Copies of this chain bind each other. A is one copy, B any other.
């Protein structure tokens, strides 16, 4: 299953809730959630730990807008909107953690 998270991990709890509940699968970070894909934040350790269970991707245009495309955690894949579409198509179902 594809889990789409769009909230800042330092302001909202939705990423943590997703990590607690979701069965192993893919997580796509978009909008303010892309900060979770960056090195050096207080969230980094939780995201790295989650990489044991999830494939983690982040939307490149959102990383670029927020000026953090150059500090993506190793092992997090970046995708453009076309890649976002591919992820939706590849998985049987998806869930947005609004």
Closest Cβ of chain B to A85, distance in Å, is 30
Which 5 pairs across A and B sit closest by C-beta, in order of nearness?
A11-B13, A12-B12, A11-B12, A10-B13, A12-B13
Question: Interface on chain A toward B: helix, strand, loop, or mixed SS?
Answer: loop
Which B residues are CB-close (under 8 A) to A13?
10-12
Binding site for B on A (CB under 8 A): 10-13
In the complex the two chains form, what is the Cα distance from A12 to B12 in whole Å?
A: 5
Closest Cβ of chain B to A21, distance in Å, is 15
In the complex the two chains form, what is the Cα distance from A10 to B10 in whole Å?
A: 13
In the complex the two chains form, what is the Cα distance from A13 to B15 in whole Å?
A: 13
Which B residues are CB-close (under 8 A) to A10?
13
